[in-house]
């Protein structure tokens, strides 16, 4: 296993210690070893709190997006494993500034069960809370079963836009509405070229041939739509765009923010080659591009591959997307 670590069991804890040590202005541990990270100034009185959570191994997702105009707290599990309901309840307490808390996270069975459980726990403490679950991975279920889809890089838009709405002083119902609207506006498709390695597993999550790629693969190696020979950049981009547009058409005059995301090892050079295609085609379609994002926004450690997310915007979402925000991984 080619990973830089001391001990597979301390991977997450040591990572969080380093993260908070490097960026104390953004991240603070709620208590040592709790794996709950909050903004140092949280809870912020009078502001709706936003929490997320999920498995480690996806930086900047989840913890990275704790920051001004973004999230208030997060609960972190082992690599690719849900944090416990207990941690999530703790994150909600840390985020609650008296106006309630939005739970905003990706649609994975374990995470959903635990966040619901956490909601039950803090309800007893009179913390009102709501839930918005991202289910943007179009490859993970047919449109008819869209609610079963997994949540992937669309989270980045939901964090940003909901975070801006909370920052603007909106109440819990309103922040929740806007978060849900963002979640509904996001579609993502991924393609993997190589596997990553979960430290505790010690070997690659899946095998894939030297010249193969897998279209539609999930960020933990969940099976995709097809596996076959590695294609040219423009062919890959074309197919990914076709899939996204089939699920959520974009008409002339509409606007979209595209996120061309590296799953980890794929370098920015190659993301820009892909973006070149995406931009030309959207221009051709007469679709207006707003704040294109190209980089590593939602990853699977050292996995090579990319995902495309299209977040369809209207005036409201565009305003919140462009509002100032700040964390160690992203400044707007």
* CB of 77 or CB of 305, closer to ligand ADP: 77
**Do 139 and 152 touch, CB atoms closer than 8 A?**
no
38, 39, 58, 68: the catalytic one is 58
Residue 242 binds which entry of a second copy, ligand ADP, another protein, none, CB below 5-8 Å type-dependent: none
116 burial class (0-12, 13-18, 19+ CB within 10 angstroms)? middle
CA 2/CA 204 separation, integer angstroms? 10
Q: Which of 264, 308, 321, 325 binds a second copy (CB under 8 A)?
A: 264
**Do 168 and 323 touch, CB atoms closer than 8 A?**
yes
CB of 299 to a second copy, least distance (A): 6
* CB of 33 or CB of 253, closer to another protein: 33
Residue 221 dihedral angles phi and psi, to the nearest 5°: 90, 15
* CB of 222 or CB of 316, closer to another protein: 222
Report which DSSP code applies to 308.
E
Query: CA nearest 104: which of 32, 154, 171, 40?
Result: 154
Residue 220 among the catalytic residues: yes
Residue 210 binds which entry of a second copy, Mg ion, another protein, none, CB below 5-8 Å type-dependent: a second copy
Helix orientation angle between 315-322 and 154-167, rounded to the nearest 10 degrees: 90
Judged by CB under 8 A, the chain residues 204 through 263 that form the site for another protein are 222-223
Query: CA nearest 75: which of 23, 127, 117?
Result: 117
Residues that bind Mg ion (CB under 5 A): 81
Binding stretches for ligand ADP (CB under 6 A)? 109-110
Binding stretches for a second copy (CB under 8 A)? 2-7, 11, 14-19, 21-22, 56-57, 59-60, 64, 193-194, 210-211, 230, 232-234, 236, 264-276, 279, 292, 294-296, 299, 301-302, 304, 306, 329, 331
């Amino acid at each position: 296993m080619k990973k830089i670590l001391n001990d597979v069991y301390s991977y997450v804890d040591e990572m969080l210690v380093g993260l908070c040590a490097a960026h104390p202005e953004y991240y603070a541990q709620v208590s040592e070893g709790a794996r709950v990270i909050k903004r140092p100034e949280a809870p912020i009185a009078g502001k709706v709190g936003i929490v997320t959570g999920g498995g480690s191994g996806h930086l900047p997702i989840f913890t990275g997006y704790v920051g001004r105009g973004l999230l208030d707290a997060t609960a972190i599990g082992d690599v690719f494993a849900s944090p416990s309901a207990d941690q999530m309840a703790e994150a909600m307490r840390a985020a609650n500034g008296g106006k309630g808390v939005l739970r905003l996270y990706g649609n994975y069975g374990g995470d959903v069960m635990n966040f619901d459980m956490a909601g039950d726990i803090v309800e007893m403490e009179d913390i009102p809370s709501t839930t918005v679950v991202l289910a943007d991975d179009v490859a993970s279920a047919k449109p008819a079963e869209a609610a079963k889809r997994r949540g992937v890089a669309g989270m980045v838009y939901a964090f940003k836009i909901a975070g801006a709405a909370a920052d603007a002083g909106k109440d819990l119902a309103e922040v929740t509405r806007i978060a849900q609207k963002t979640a509904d506006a996001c579609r993502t498709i991924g393609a993997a070229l190589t596997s990553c390695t979960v430290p505790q597993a010690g070997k690659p999550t899946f095998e894939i041939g030297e010249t193969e790629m897998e279209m539609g693969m999930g960020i933990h190696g969940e099976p995709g739509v097809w596996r076959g020979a590695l294609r040219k950049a423009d062919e890959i981009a074309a197919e990914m765009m076709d899939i996204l547009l089939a699920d959520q058409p974009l008409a002339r005059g509409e606007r979209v923010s595209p996120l061309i995301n590296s799953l980890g090892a794929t370098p920015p050079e190659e993301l820009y080659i892909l973006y070149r295609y995406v931009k030309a085609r959207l221009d051709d379609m007469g679709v207006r591009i707003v704040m294109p994002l190209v980089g590593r926004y939602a990853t699977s450690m050292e996995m090579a591959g990319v995902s495309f997310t299209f977040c369809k915007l209207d005036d409201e979402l565009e305003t919140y997307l462009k509002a100032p925000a700040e964390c160690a991984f992203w400044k707007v």
